[in-house]
Amino acid sequence: MNGTPAVHLRGTGSSLPKRVMRNEEFAAFLETSDEWITTRTGIHERRLAGPEETTVSLGLEASRRALEAAGLKAGDLDLILFATVTPVSQVPSNACRIQAGLGCRLIPAFDLNAACTGFLYGLAVADGMIRAGNHQHVLLIGAETLSRVVNFSDRGSSVVFGDGAGAAILSASTGEGTGVRRVRLYADGRLGDLIQLGGPGGQPAWTGPGTPQPAAPAKITMNGREVFRFAVQRVHQMVQEALTDCGLAAPDVALVIPHQANQRILDAAFADLGFLPENVMSNIDRYGNTSAASVPIALDEAFCTRRVKSGDTVLLLAFGGGMTWGSAVVTL
Catalytic residue numbers, as ranges: 116, 259, 289
- The crossing angle, in degrees rounded to 10, of helices 294-304 and 55-70 is 40
Phi, psi angle pair for 169, to nearest 5°: -105, 125
Distance CA 57, CA 287 (A): 18
Contacts of 213 (CB under 8 A, 6+ apart): none
Report the candidate in 108, 165, 169, 107 with the shortest Cα–Cα distance to residue 138. Answer: 169
3-state secondary structure of 65: helix
Amino acid letter, residue 83: A
Amino acid letter, residue 129: M
Contacts of 209 (CB under 8 A, 6+ apart): none
Phi, psi angle pair for 117, to nearest 5°: -90, 5
Distance CA 326, CA 234 (A): 9
Do 302 and 281 form a contact (C-beta atoms < 8 A)? yes
Report the candidate in 158, 141, 125, 150 with the shortest Cα–Cα distance to residue 43. Answer: 158
Do 144 and 164 form a contact (C-beta atoms < 8 A)? yes
